Amino acid sequence: MDRTNKEIVLENTNHPSPRVFRLDNAALVYPAVRGSKNPNIFRISADLVEEIDPHTLQQALDASLRRMPNFSVKLRSGFFWHYFVTTNKRLLIQPDVSNPCTLISDKENDGFQIRVRYHHTRIALEIFHSITDGAGALLFLKTLIGKYLMLNGKSIPAENGILDTSITPGEDEMRDAFHQFAGEQRVHRGKPVRAYHVTGTPLPAFKTNIITGIISIHALREHTKPLGVTITEYLTAVLMGALQANQQDANPRHILPIRVQVPVDLRRFVGSKTFRNFSSFITPSIEPKQGHFQFDEILHLVHHFTRYHVTRKYLSARVANNIKTERILFLRVMPLILKNWLISLSFKMQGPRSYTSTISNLGRLDLPKEFQKWVRSFDFILGYSQDIKVKCAVLGYKENLHINFTRSIKEANVEREFFTHFVKRGIPVRVENY
């Protein structure tokens, strides 16, 4: 790792000429609103069985970036839009830090919008949300680890999302799939409703608190199956219940709706292979002004809300609405500096103010047995934000579900309420500081 960047660039001169990508529809907003208080970064990490060899990891990263070139890009500002341009520089792996998901600065990262960190047995990928969503990042990390294990002499088949790095990237893998998915009909989001926000003692700048709760998938499924709900619906309802209790304790006089944003991967509707952003979200909510909601009532509401909204028709109509906004002539001809200001203002007025928290579930990883033998666990972490003070990210692997809470305040009341829900119902929870 002690070679200079110049030497490394000379080694990589066989790269093709730079390629320019437009930002996809979901990615447009992030460059305008990102900052040290809201870096819009998320992280997926894997804990391997053996100690990481940095040299081999660097080689694996080089190969993975060649296979997935939309991750090897710099973010540039044009006159009208931001755009990505591929770079021939080499992204260097970095040692891990105690406060993940800090803002990616051009100065320290050669313009790359991703970081790969390592520490003992852990490999972590931190990524700016404009590049891709959780599913895309997971694909990259699986490919990276697969290549790393292969370089270490392990036999890993290129299947279940582990890509063969010797294959040339396909056009469909780098396509902005939103345009293909958008329907002809549009559905408006409606007037943004002000939602409850968790409050507490702010942590110092660049500090974040992450708590991991580990629950057996089998135990949870046994519990949710008779209720006829999915694990995501159940976890969303538990989070909403915890937020309701938090509001009752913190501010019983001024009750606001509890709204939780739940991202939805759109790949499952059209079988898209894209590595870029391709997700939308739904926002189930409860209105505690109507009275205290029992957990069963919340679960019932979340279940039916999800079933009604997570359909191809509804989501494609929502995407169509976003695409339509992007195509407004007035916005297209507006210079980027004004566009950034307008997006930032609109985001401040409508974005995080209209929901209380986020819960993102990437599902249970289905990986080849040869791979599972060498990887102990996976963790998914959403970056901190000053606007949304508590966020939740979920990822299942092997027998366990890892639920990571990121918070930018000292108090862990929401997490406590969340995890004790399971303990009260006889589902064991193991809690760790990440």
Partner 1 sequence: MPYCVQCGVELDPDAQSCPLCSTHVISLESERMKSENKNQMLPSHQPPSNFDRHLWLQLVSVGLAAPVLICLLIDFLFDGNIGWAWYVAAGFGLVWAWSIFPFLRERNIAPLWIALDGAALLLFLYFIEKLSGKTMWFLPLALPIALAFIILLEVFVILIQKRVLKELHILSTFLLGIACYCLIIDGFVSEYIANDGGLDWSLIVVVACIAFAVVLAILQRRRWIVEELKYWFRV
* Contact residues for partner 1, defined by CB under 8 A: 36, 95-99, 102-108, 119-120, 122, 194, 197, 199, 205-207, 211, 213, 250-251, 253-254, 348, 353, 412, 415-416, 419-420, 423-424, 428-434
Region of 429 please: left (phi>0), alpha (psi -120 to 50) or beta.
beta
Which residue number, 6 or 107, has a Cβ lying nearer to partner 1? 107
Minimum distance from CB of 41 to partner 1 (Å)?
Answer: 10
Tokens in use for 308? Answer: 């009604």
Which residue number, 182 or 211, has a Cβ lying nearer to partner 1? 211
Which residue number, 87 or 208, has a Cβ lying nearer to partner 1? 208
Q: Token match 């110092």: residue?
A: 204
Q: How far apart are CA 384 and CA 376, in angstroms?
A: 25
DSSP annotation of 93: P
DSSP annotation of 409: B
Minimum distance from CB of 288 to partner 1 (Å)?
Answer: 15
3 state DSSP class of 232: helix
Q: What angle do CA 264, 179, 325 make, to 5 degrees?
A: 90
Which residue number, 106 or 164, has a Cβ lying nearer to partner 1? 106
C-beta of residue 75 within 8 angstroms of C-beta of residue 31: yes
Minimum distance from CB of 78 to partner 1 (Å)?
Answer: 18
State residue 181 phi and psi, 5-degree precision: -80, -30
Which residue number, 141 or 211, has a Cβ lying nearer to partner 1? 211
Minimum distance from CB of 376 to partner 1 (Å)?
Answer: 12
- R_g of the chain computed on alpha carbons: 21
Which residue number, 105 or 294, has a Cβ lying nearer to partner 1? 105
Minimum distance from CB of 211 to partner 1 (Å)?
Answer: 5
3 state DSSP class of 375: strand
Q: How far apart are CA 89 and CA 68, in angstroms?
A: 15
Minimum distance from CB of 75 to partner 1 (Å)?
Answer: 13
Minimum distance from CB of 229 to partner 1 (Å)?
Answer: 23
Which residue number, 106 or 296, has a Cβ lying nearer to partner 1? 106
Minimum distance from CB of 356 to partner 1 (Å)?
Answer: 13
Minimum distance from CB of 259 to partner 1 (Å)?
Answer: 15
C-beta of residue 47 within 8 angstroms of C-beta of residue 397: no
Q: How far apart are CA 424 and CA 431, in angstroms?
A: 15
Q: How far apart are CA 154 and CA 287, in angstroms?
A: 53
Which residue number, 118 or 178, has a Cβ lying nearer to partner 1? 118
Q: Token match 């959780």: residue?
A: 134
Q: What angle do CA 132, 336, 125 make, to 5 degrees?
A: 20
3 state DSSP class of 421: helix
Which residue number, 328 or 345, has a Cβ lying nearer to partner 1? 345
Minimum distance from CB of 150 to partner 1 (Å)?
Answer: 26
Of 185, 150, 423, 146, the residue nearest 311 (C-alpha): 185
Buried b (16+ CB within 10 A) or exposed e, 116-139: bbbeeebbbbbbbbbbbbbbbbbb
Which residue number, 36 or 160, has a Cβ lying nearer to partner 1? 36
C-beta of residue 275 within 8 angstroms of C-beta of residue 71: yes
C-beta of residue 368 within 8 angstroms of C-beta of residue 162: yes
